[in-house]
Amino acid sequence: MESRAVKQPTRNPGNPVRTAPRQQAAVERARATGAVTARTRLGDRLRGWAGHHREMAAEALRRFFAAPMASFMTALVIAIALALPASLQLGMVNFQRAVAGWDGQPQISVFLNKSARESAITSYVEDLRQDPRVAAVTYISPEQALEEFQQSSGLGDALAGLGSNPLPAVLLVRPAGATGELEALAESLRESALSDAVVLDMAWVERLSRLTELGQRLSLGLGLLLALGVILVVVNTIRLHIESRREEILVVKLVGGTNAFVRRPFLYSGLCYGLFGGLLAWLLVTLGVALLSGPVAGLASSYGSGYRLDGPGLAYLLALAGGAALLGLAGAWVAVARHVRAIEPS
């Protein structure tokens, strides 16, 4: 800083910046000591910073709706990409609920010989209940089986015309021991003179759990892949935004705008795209459930079940909107990190 005395400027009435004399003097002092930082108080700057965030959030919304068609298209692409894994996930949840009655415990069905006498069956059931390898035995008489079948199959009249009951009595044996002993238990059941056929349901239980796992992995993998797709969509959209506002970015940088200041509106735009994409995705899934719930309910009632499809609830709404907003923000970050720094005045 020059120490030489400089002629004090005369303050004329047309002072370009009309400040109170005291403030003016403070500014002069700041200049004289070589202070070159912006002369704005910290509190003001904090308020200004928060105000800018509010402004940019509002502006992002305004820009989103300024070109409603283009914005809607982008949001819809995001929505479709998110609705796919979300509906797969929801499908899995519903599927698991539908098979919840099968609690994963294997069960052995013993179809009894039709000629077996009632007393022999009763004592056999008693014997089985004493067996330490057996946890529970349920006896279904031919009459019960027929009744159940008539109710669930809707073939009541046809069955009534049969004259005699074609169904055998069934023992549902629930094993107590570990899975390894199942085969041995089934084998001993087969050896009984009373049993006609023994069906071990374990394979199905296992297949079901494998299938469930497969579905979950599939929806997770698809979800990750499509989340990446969402990020790329937002990166590209924000990149175009940045290009179209190149002039503005240059001017802002020339008047002392930091990179953070320049980035802010674009980050909010990305957030906006994600948020609306997430909301649209939720709507798509809801719509899909509404379309499917009729046929599914019909199918369930044909099996004698009161099962209803679960729609995407509030949890899905929050997760989709929040997750998508974060993805949008991430995409915008990638775009601004690559492009905002590159735009420098020259």
Partner 1 sequence: MITFDNVNKRYESGQDALVRVSLELDRGELVFLTGHSGAGKSTLLKLLTAIERPTRGSILVAGQNLNRLRNSQVPYYRRNVGIVFQNHQLLFDRSVFDNVALPLSVAGCNRREVGRRVRAALDKVGLLHKERQNPIVLSGGEQQRVGIARAVVNKPAILVADEPTGNLDPQLSAEIMQLFADFNAVGVTVMIASHDLELIARQKRRVLTLQAGQLIYDGIPSREAAYP
Residue 137: name the closest of 149, 128, 146 by CA: 128
Q: Say which DSSP state 38 is in.
A: -
Q: Determine, following the binding rule CB under 8 A, whether residue 2 of this chain makes contact with partner 1.
A: yes
What is the nearest approach in angstroms of partner 1 to the Cβ of residue 333? 18
What is the nearest approach in angstroms of partner 1 to the Cβ of residue 73? 22
Per CB under 8 A, which region of 139-147, 230-238, 256-264, 314-322 contacts partner 1? 256-264
In angstroms, rounded to a whole number, what is the distance separating the alpha carbons of residues 68 and 76? 12
What is the nearest approach in angstroms of partner 1 to the Cβ of residue 269? 15
* Angle ∠(142,144,149) on CA atoms, nearest 5: 95
In angstroms, rounded to a whole number, what is the distance separating the alpha carbons of residues 255 and 46? 19
Between 235 and 254, how does the x/- string for binding to partner 1 read (CB under 8 A)? Answer: ------------xx-xxxxx
**Residue 58, amino acid:** A
Q: Determine, following the binding rule CB under 8 A, whether residue 261 of this chain makes contact with partner 1.
A: yes
Q: Determine, following the binding rule CB under 8 A, whether residue 54 of this chain makes contact with partner 1.
A: no
Beta strand pairing call for 134-140 and 195-200: unpaired
Residue 147: name the closest of 135, 156, 139, 158 by CA: 156
Residues that bind partner 1 (rule: CB under 8 A) add up to a total of: 50
DSSP H helices, 67-166, are: 68-98, 118-130, 142-153, 156-160
Pick from 6, 178, 314, 342 the residue near partner 1 by CB under 8 A: 6
Task: Give whichever of 16 and 132 is closer to partner 1, judged by the CB atom.
Answer: 16
Q: Determine, following the binding rule CB under 8 A, whether residue 67 of this chain makes contact with partner 1.
A: no
In angstroms, rounded to a whole number, what is the distance separating the alpha carbons of residues 73 and 80? 10
Which residues lie across from 197 on neighbouring strands? 111
Q: Determine, following the binding rule CB under 8 A, whether residue 28 of this chain makes contact with partner 1.
A: yes
Task: Give whichever of 179 and 258 is closer to partner 1, judged by the CB atom.
Answer: 258
Check: CB of residue 197 under 8 Å from CB of residue 169: no
Query: Cβ-count burial of 285 within 10 angstroms (0-12 exposed, 13-18 middle, 19+ buried)?
Result: buried
Per CB under 8 A, which region of 4-12, 166-174, 228-236, 294-302 contacts partner 1? 4-12
**Which residue's structure tokens are 């959209």?**
237
In angstroms, rounded to a whole number, what is the distance separating the alpha carbons of residues 262 and 238? 13
Q: Determine, following the binding rule CB under 8 A, whether residue 65 of this chain makes contact with partner 1.
A: no
Task: Give whichever of 190 and 245 is closer to partner 1, judged by the CB atom.
Answer: 245
Pick from 25, 26, 47, 126 the residue near partner 1 by CB under 8 A: 47
Task: Give whichever of 19 and 179 is closer to partner 1, judged by the CB atom.
Answer: 19
Pick from 40, 119, 130, 164 the residue near partner 1 by CB under 8 A: 40
Q: Determine, following the binding rule CB under 8 A, whether residue 118 of this chain makes contact with partner 1.
A: no
Task: Give whichever of 4 and 22 is closer to partner 1, judged by the CB atom.
Answer: 4
In angstroms, rounded to a whole number, what is the distance separating the alpha carbons of residues 107 and 193? 20
Task: Give whichever of 28 and 206 is closer to partner 1, judged by the CB atom.
Answer: 28
Residue 291 backbone dihedrals phi, psi, to 5 degrees:
-70, -35
Q: Determine, following the binding rule CB under 8 A, whether residue 22 of this chain makes contact with partner 1.
A: no
340 Cβ contact partners less than 8 Å away, ≥ 6 residues apart: 242, 249, 259, 262, 263, 266
What is the nearest approach in angstroms of partner 1 to the Cβ of residue 77? 26
Pick from 26, 48, 148, 160 the residue near partner 1 by CB under 8 A: 48
Point out which residues bind partner 1 (CB under 8 A). 1-2, 4, 6-12, 14-19, 27-28, 31, 34, 36-40, 44-49, 51-52, 55, 247-248, 250-259, 261, 344-346
